[in-house]
Amino acid sequence: MQLELSAEDAAFREEMRTFFTTKIPQEIRDKVAERRELTKDDIVTSQRILNEHGLAVPNWPVEWGGQDWSPLRRHIWHEEMQRACVPLPLAFNASMVGPVIAQFGSQELKERFLPKTANLDIWWSQGFSEPDAGSDLASLRTTAVLDGDEFVVNGQKTWTTLGQHGDWIFNLVRTDPEAKKQRGISFLLIDMTSPGVTVRPIELIDGGHEVNEVWFEDVRVPQDNLVGELNAGWDYAKFLLGNERVGVAPVGATKRVLAQAKEYAGDQLQDPLTAARFAELENELLALELTALRVVAHSADGKPHPASSVLKLKGTELQQAVSELVVDLAGPASLASGAGDDDSDLPGWARRATPVYLNLRKASIYGGSNEIQRQIIAKTILGL
Amino acid sequence: MDFTYDDEQQALREAVRGLVGKAYADFETRRRTVAEDPGFDEGLWQRLAEMGVLGLPFHEEDGGSGAGPVEVAIVAEEMGRVLAPEPFLTSVVLAGGLVAAAGFADQRAEVLGALSGGESVLAFAHAEPGTRWTDDATSVTATNSGDTWTLSGTKEPVPHGARADLLVVSAALPDGGTGLFLVDPTADGVTRNGYATHDGGRAARVVLDDAAGVPLGDGGDATATIATVLDIGRVMACNEAIGAMEFQLRGTTEYLKSRKQFGVTLNTFQALNFRAAEMYVSLEMAKSLTTWATMVLDAGKPDQMAVAASRAAVGVSRAGRHIGQEAIQLHGGIAMTAEYSIGSYTSHLTALDHLLGDGDHHLRVLAASVGDHEEFDPLS
């Protein structure tokens, strides 16, 4: 039992902190700090700087740009990025399709895609959810039928986050309609400029355009774009979703927003009720952060600590609760969400508070909804 | 950063489990034990002394074994797991802790030697009617005539105050501040009324009327020492609660898997399983805070101990209420009975919550300083 980081890990933390606060452009980090929307260029610029220094995809195999770090160092890297307001490497590339290709793809696929994926030369979109396949993902209906050496893809994907920027999309498609539902699914990479691919924006309750529908009409996809084995896609998807749960608790970012909220609060912090709300959230975030550290410390042998499922559940609840607090701190100023900088005397954070709050309702739905997480805890951990 | 117990610590846990866990493996044994005074098993107390548990936190020259907070926490957790009624927390950690922190060498050797050896049960008489978890004493006052001190006033509730062989009493000093005194409870001027607490524990009203007291150490203001020992006690109470909550969660899941209604086991119903899952979340969050606070004590950073104790106390208070209430609800009527263990755990968690400051008390402490820092970093 020891509280402190080892001298080596403390030095590593300092190194990360220095890098993130000096090498990533201030104007990009300011946008993150002020919770303003990032452009595609901001995200690409930031990831390329990270990649240039081996810091974009440390979770990948070393030969493809990864780092031979302990789970604790990976955790420190992830937390310090959030703390420094650095946009995280695009999850679709860095945590989703990259590790799948590295683990299950052919040598040819690896060489063709991994370097460009790490450097964000290719912007990946995720083609998993469908209108009738949400939490029950395996009920997906988009089909891919082999015709010569090409698949012909038909169907519709939805909730495709930032699909408007997408160059390529990784899809779960049904390749064997006769098999039991999980067994007839394959993992297919599709060039989004292919004829028959249509991306349509979905307007969300925060007024933003973050997600899309993606339609496939007789899209012809070379057979070479299949990852791994035919009809083994569900295993790859489970691998991907397992990776997704680890980084999905945004501890550092939520802590940072809470710290900023103290500034927003100003004199309101003198109000005992407001101060108590801050103190309670801060304490729960501490418990979450410590739980993440316990998970990290105990996953060194490769097996994830059972408490990891707590992270997604509690992490997103706290992220949402902090965004709710910021709306309440903004008070009536939160109504001015439609005002531009020149049209309003009210501070930007207050004007952005409610759109952020509304947007973050998604957090307990995506990445395996929190009800799915409760199901995992009940079944896998408690044996219920 | 390392959350693992070493081999010796594991061995200690196994040993305590082998003794206390075995003694109270059958809940009926605990029921019988707490039904009669002194409310705990004197024989088991002796065996704990023989095992070295009662002297665990004290220096070897004071008759102890010089172990650290992590070891003490392991004992507390295992006591909590079986709801052991022996006064480890109040007698060893609190009263003994004060003697260790404030006493002269000869006082420490005598008092802690007897405590460690199981010959003497100590009690800390601190709470006064009308006070709520203060570090100082107000209505009990100390008066001196030369080197002789007498104490007057009422202390209540004093955990295990009626059974105690020696009292550590806090009292307001004539020139301000709070002093600590050793009081022989059989001496003139001391009247004790003992009673059972709702969880099967024991407490007492201790009325002092010009009772003789021997200053602990130099007899000066000990408010800061009291505060620190109370903080250590808080963290150990959290560890005890973790053991109790782990038992409640396990008991609840076992019950959901075995109890049949409508022709099926209760775990057929997702509404119930989800509530058990939420109990697990609460437990893990509380465990993280408690383990961390224990490590803060272990690192010996006095400036961080108070904050760590309050943070753990808030988390454990919230979790204890959640888990304790849900454990009863998910069992249904059976958990309302004294015969079945689960409900008694909720009673004990409620007692622990109110022994050294409940969740709101500690949240108030944290809220008062929430504007003093940007963010809280447990790693620096």
What is the CATH code for B7-120? 1.10.540.10
To test the contact with chain A by mutation, choose from B268, B273, B281 the residue with the greatest count of A C-beta atoms within 10 A, namely: B281
Residues A199 and A253 both lie in one domain: no
Q: Which of B305, B318, B310, B240 is nearest to B279 (CA)?
A: B318
Q: Where in chain B is the domain with CATH 2.40.110.10?
A: 123-221
Instruction: Please give the pLDDT value at position A245.
Output: 58
The verdict on residue A119 lying in a domain is no
Instruction: Please give the pLDDT value at position B16.
Output: 98
What CATH architecture applies to the domain B123-221?
Beta Barrel (2.40)
The domain boundary residue, chosen from A45, A69, A89:
A89
| Sign of the dihedral through C-alpha B100, B104, B109, B115 | negative
Q: Taking chain A, what is the end-to-end CA distance rounded to the nearest angstrom?
A: 32
To test the contact with chain A by mutation, choose from B285, B290, B318 the residue with the greatest count of A C-beta atoms within 10 A, namely: B285
Q: Where in chain B is the domain with CATH 1.10.540.10?
A: 7-120
B379: contact with A, CB 8 A cutoff: yes
Task: State how beta strands A143-147 and A150-157 pair.
Answer: antiparallel
The verdict on residue A128 lying in a domain is yes
Q: Are A72 and A297 in contact (CB under 8 A)?
A: yes
- Residue B159: cis peptide before it, omega within 30 degrees of 0: no
Ranges in chain A, pLDDT < 70: 244-248, 299-306
Q: Are A67 and A12 in contact (CB under 8 A)?
A: no
Residues A175 and A134 both lie in one domain: yes
How far apart, in whole angstroms, are the C-alpha atoms of residue B121 and residue A341? 70
Q: Which of B97-111, B213-227, B290-304 shows the lowest mean pLDDT across its residues?
A: B290-304
B223 has pLDDT over 60: yes
Per-residue buried b or exposed e for B122-131, using 16+ beta carbons within 10 Å of the residue's own CB: bbbbbbbeee
Residues A150 and A183 both lie in one domain: yes
How far apart, in whole angstroms, are the C-alpha atoms of residue A336 and residue B283? 41
Q: Which value does ipTM take for this structure? A: 0.96
The verdict on residue A309 lying in a domain is yes
Instruction: Please give the pLDDT value at position B266.
Output: 97
For A18, the token pair is 């220095």
For B:146-205, CB contacts with A below 8 A are none
Residues A268 and A363 both lie in one domain: yes
Q: Is B277 within 8 Å of A374 when comparing Cβ atoms? A: yes
Superfamily of domain B224-372: Butyryl-CoA Dehydrogenase, subunit A, domain 3 (1.20.140.10)
Q: Are B351 and B80 in contact (CB under 8 A)?
A: no
Residues A194 and A296 both lie in one domain: no
Told to judge if A244 belongs to the known catalytic residues of this protein, a careful annotator would answer yes
How far apart, in whole angstroms, are the C-alpha atoms of residue B202 and residue B193? 11
Instruction: Please give the pLDDT value at position A301.
Output: 54
Q: What's the mean per-residue pLDDT of chain B?
A: 97
How do residues A75-105 score in pLDDT, each as one tens digit? 999 999 999 999 999 999 999 999 999 999 9
Instruction: Please give the pLDDT value at position B83.
Output: 98
Nearest CA in chain B to A310: B281
* Overall number of domains in chain A: 3
Residue B216 phi, psi (nearest 5)? -85, 120
How do residues B250-302 score in pLDDT, each as one tens digit? 999 999 999 999 999 999 999 999 999 999 999 999 999 999 999 999 998 88
B230: left (phi over 0), alpha (psi -120 to 50) or beta: alpha
How do residues B37-92 score in pLDDT, each as one tens digit? 999 999 999 999 999 999 999 999 999 999 999 999 999 999 999 999 999 999 99
Q: Is A279 within 8 Å of B273 when comparing Cβ atoms? A: no
Q: Which of A163, A172, A146, A142 is nearest to A154 (CA)?
A: A142
The domain boundary residue, chosen from A231, A260, A278:
A231
Q: Is B371 within 8 Å of A288 when comparing Cβ atoms? A: no
The domain boundary residue, chosen from A67, A89, A111:
A89
Residues A272 and A323 both lie in one domain: yes
**Helices B223-258 & B302-331 angle (0-180, nearest 10):** 30
Residues A355 and A259 both lie in one domain: yes
Residues A290 and A354 both lie in one domain: yes
Element spanning A103, H or E: helix A98-104
Nearest CA in chain B to A259: B374
Q: CA–CA distance from B76 to each of A23, A122, A249, B86 (Å)?
A: 49, 56, 31, 11
Q: Is A33 strand, coil or helix?
A: helix
Q: CA–CA distance from A90 to each of A40, A56, A77 (Å)?
A: 10, 9, 15
How far apart, in whole angstroms, are the C-alpha atoms of residue A235 and residue A233? 5
Q: Where in chain B is the domain with CATH 1.20.140.10?
A: 224-372
Element spanning A47, H or E: helix A40-52
Structural domain range at position A23: 7-89
Q: Which of A72, A269, A290 is facing B288, going by the closest CB pair?
A: A290
Instruction: Please give the pLDDT value at position A244.
Output: 60
How do residues B231-262 score in pLDDT, each as one tens digit? 999 999 999 999 999 999 999 999 999 999 99
The verdict on residue A219 lying in a domain is yes
Instruction: Please give the pLDDT value at position A303.
Output: 58
Instruction: Please give the pLDDT value at position A305.
Output: 67
Q: Which of B277, B315, B371 is facing A287, going by the closest CB pair?
A: B315
How far apart, in whole angstroms, are the C-alpha atoms of residue A194 and residue B198? 73
